[in-house]
Every structure is written in C-alpha cells, then in structure tokens.
C-alpha cells in the first residue's frame, strides 16, 4: 500500500509562486493510491490547468522526469513529455522495447541510481511487479504509465472527461464491454471510487482479476457505488450514459488476436449494441482502436464519440498528476536511500 496524504490543496498561481510540497514522496501505481476526495481534487486541479495553462508555466522549473517504456506508445509518451515541458520541467526518455528494464541491472540498483539524479520516474511495463518494486526501492515518486494490471492515468483522464460532460459522476451509468484487462481494472476502481453505477461485461474466459473486483467492491461499500459484473454486453449497456471498449488483444497478446476475434464478436460496439444505451450515450475508447473489430467506424466517428476528448485530457490529467507529485520547494533528493 502506498502512502496517502491529505487531499491536494489547489493553489492560485497568481497569489503564490510555490506549490505545497508533499510530506513525503508518493506514487501513482494504482487508482487505489488516491482516495475518492483526492480524485475529485485532482480533477479540480486538472480543470485549472486546462483552462489557464499559461498561469502554470514554470511551476516545475528545474524538475526532471525519466520515462522507461517497455511497450510502444503514442498518447502516453507525448502527453507526459508535452505536459512536463509546458510546466517548465525536463524529460529523459529511455526506450526499453528491446529488453526488459531489469535485464542488465537489478531494479534495486537502478532505483537507487535514479533517485540521486531524477525527481520522478514514469514506467510503462509488461509486469506490474516492476512498477511496484521500483516504487518500493526509489525514494522519489513513481508513476504507472501502464502495466498488465492497471492503466491509472488513462482511467483518470476518462472519468475527468465524463465529469466535463455530466458533472456529478455519482449519477452516471458507465458501461464497459470487452476484455477484462488492465483498462477494465482501472475503470472499475475509478468508477467505484467516484460512486458511479458501473456495468462490465466480458467473455467468461476473459474476465476481471478477482482481486481487483474484491478491492473495488470494498471501495463501493464506502462510496455507495453500484458494480455489476456480467457476460451479457446488451445487459451491461442497457440505459448507460457512456459505453467504453478496448482492444480485444492487448499488447503482449497479439498472437491470440485471431482466436479472440471469434470469441469477442458479440462484444463489438456497433449501432445495434448502442441502441440499448441511452440515445445520448457517449462512446469511449482509450485508443488505439481496431476499427471493424471492437468498434465500428459508424460508432467511433459518431457525434457521440469522445475518444479525442479523452486523448486530449490525457495531457491535462497528467500535468495535474505531475504538479501533485512534485509540487514546489527544494530538498527533493535524499542524502541516502530512505527505502531498504
């Protein structure tokens, strides 16, 4: 379990040049690292950054971020880099697509090197354990930019997008159909934290991780969210305010694409399936989309599609995460490692 602090305080940059420094380095490994109140506070900060970007130029001046990516990326890489640059910080990108991060050197040693040079570490990995280990060893914040278990930054951008359209997220019905993958996990946890009604439909052999479901149910007990896990996509989207899907074969499962195509065919988001949702229902996808597979052109290119709003909001939510984790002040580098 990662450290939690009080909800982020929103600072008007016109009144002060410094942002509050966290009491101790925190990480964003899972949606669970944020309390429901912190998610809403983060959304408020995101709105401020989106509406008045010029007011925040330079707030992270002198801060440095390193990104290690074992998987290819378009939105995640560019939005983090553009976001850090617009806040005045610097980014270093390390391409790990040819080999795993710990192939040459132990994560323990890598972490204790990085914490002496860099203010924040962003990881996009195959193994969730890699992100957790880095967060355990490094005395600077670590962000999960995608692992096989979760994709928290994307889910936060998605629910921020929903808040822009609907306002009170506790009043919406959010439906997801398709693979019970990392995206589904983070969306379930986010929906539970925000008190939403969440319906998820997956094929039987491709369901959600039961540990994630149990965690989401525990959160829902406190927030009064309604969670429904099922296999019928039509039942899941009936009456939904938003319908979300993702690739049927995520990165690392490309060799299963042909087999999955037949199994997932009933889960395609097409005009017929969208008929079960509300007439005004939004269509959502984290991209890249495989048109003609999990979604048809008619749906993704419709007026109700907000896929590019989601993509844009990746920039704004990640800027807010960077400000929240790094803040202002000095003395970020420990004299020696604070982790065992």
Q: Tell me the pLDDT tens digit for each residue of 205-258.
A: 999 999 999 999 999 999 999 999 999 999 999 999 999 999 998 766 677 888
> Which of the residues 185, 246, 268, 332 is marked catalytic?
246
Report whether pLDDT(287) > 50: yes
On whether both 74 and 90 belong to a single domain, the answer is: yes
124 is catalytic: yes
75 is catalytic: no
On whether both 161 and 267 belong to a single domain, the answer is: yes
151 is catalytic: yes
Domain that includes residue 189, residue range:
153-312
On whether both 138 and 260 belong to a single domain, the answer is: no
275 is catalytic: no
286 is catalytic: yes
Distance separating alpha carbons of residues 60 and 68, to the nearest angstrom: 20
Report whether pLDDT(22) > 60: no
Q: Is residue 20 in some structural domain? A: no
On whether both 47 and 173 belong to a single domain, the answer is: no
- Mean pLDDT, rounded, of the chain: 90
> Which of the residues 75, 158, 173, 286 is marked catalytic?
286
On whether both 121 and 192 belong to a single domain, the answer is: no
Q: Is residue 140 in some structural domain? A: yes
| Residue 75, domain CATH | 3.40.50.1370
> Which of the residues 32, 96, 154, 318 is marked catalytic?
154
> Which of the residues 26, 260, 314, 316 is marked catalytic?
314
> Which of the residues 26, 75, 77, 124 is marked catalytic?
124
DSSP 123-186: EE-S-HHHHHHHHHH-SS-EEES--SS--HHHHHHHHHHHHHHHS-GGG-EEEEES--SHHHHH
pLDDT, residue 18, reads 44
314 is catalytic: yes
On whether both 168 and 299 belong to a single domain, the answer is: yes
Q: Is residue 243 in some structural domain? A: yes
Q: Is residue 336 in some structural domain? A: no
Q: How much of the chain, in percent, has pLDDT values that exceed 90?
A: 84
On whether both 289 and 322 belong to a single domain, the answer is: no
Q: Is residue 8 in some structural domain? A: no
Q: Can you tell me the mean pLDDT for 7-12? A: 45
Q: Is residue 1 in some structural domain? A: no
Q: Is residue 7 in some structural domain? A: no
On whether both 299 and 320 belong to a single domain, the answer is: no
pLDDT, residue 21, reads 43
Q: Tell me the pLDDT tens digit for each residue of 87-119.
A: 999 999 999 999 899 888 999 999 999 999 999
Neighbours of 17 (CB within 10 A): 11
> Which of the residues 26, 75, 151, 316 is marked catalytic?
151
On whether both 196 and 304 belong to a single domain, the answer is: yes
On whether both 180 and 75 belong to a single domain, the answer is: no
On whether both 160 and 293 belong to a single domain, the answer is: yes
Distance separating alpha carbons of residues 151 and 156, to the nearest angstrom: 9
pTM confidence score: 0.89
**How many structural domains comprise the chain?**
2
pLDDT, residue 256, reads 83
Q: How confident is the model at residue 14 (pLDDT cuts 50, 70, 90)?
A: very low
């Amino acid at each position: 379990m990662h450290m939690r602090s009080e909800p982020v305080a929103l600072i008007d940059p016109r009144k002060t040049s410094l942002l509050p420094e966290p009491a101790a380095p925190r990480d964003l490994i899972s949606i669970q690292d944020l309390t429901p109140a912190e998610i809403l506070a983060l959304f408020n900060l995101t709105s401020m950054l989106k509406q008045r970007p010029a007011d925040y130029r330079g707030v992270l001046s002198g801060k440095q971020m390193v990104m290690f990516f074992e998987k290819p990326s378009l939105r995640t890489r560019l939005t983090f880099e553009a976001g850090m640059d617009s806040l005045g910080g610097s980014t270093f990108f390390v391409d790990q697509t040819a080999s795993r991060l710990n192939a040459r050197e132990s994560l323990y040693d890598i972490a204790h090197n990085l914490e002496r040079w860099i203010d924040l570490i962003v990881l996009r990995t195959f193994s969730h354990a890699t992100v957790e280990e880095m967060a355990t060893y490094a005395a600077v914040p670590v962000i999960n930019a995608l692992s096989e278990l979760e994709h928290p930054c994307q889910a936060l951008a998605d629910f921020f997008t929903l808040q822009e359209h609907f306002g009170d997220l506790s009043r919406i019905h959010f439906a997801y159909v398709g693979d019970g993958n990392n995206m589904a996990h983070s969306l379930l946890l986010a929906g539970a934290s925000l008190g939403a009604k969440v319906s998820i439909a997956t094929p039987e052999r491709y369901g959600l991780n039961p540990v994630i479901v149990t965690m989401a149910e525990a959160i829902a007990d406190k927030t009064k969210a309604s969670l429904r896990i099922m296999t019928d996509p039509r039942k899941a989207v009936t009456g939904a305010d938003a319908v979300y899907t993702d690739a049927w074969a995520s990165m690392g499962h490309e060799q299963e694409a042909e087999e999955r195509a037949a199994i997932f065919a009933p889960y395609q988001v097409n005009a017929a399936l969208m008929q079960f949702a509300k007439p005004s229902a939004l269509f959502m996808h984290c991209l890249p989309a495989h048109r003609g597979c999990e979604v048809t052109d008619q749906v993704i290119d419709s007026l109700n599609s907000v896929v590019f709003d989601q993509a844009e909001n990746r920039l704004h939510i990640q800027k807010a995460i960077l400000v929240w984790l790094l803040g202002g002040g000095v003395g970020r580098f420990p004299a020696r490692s604070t982790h065992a």
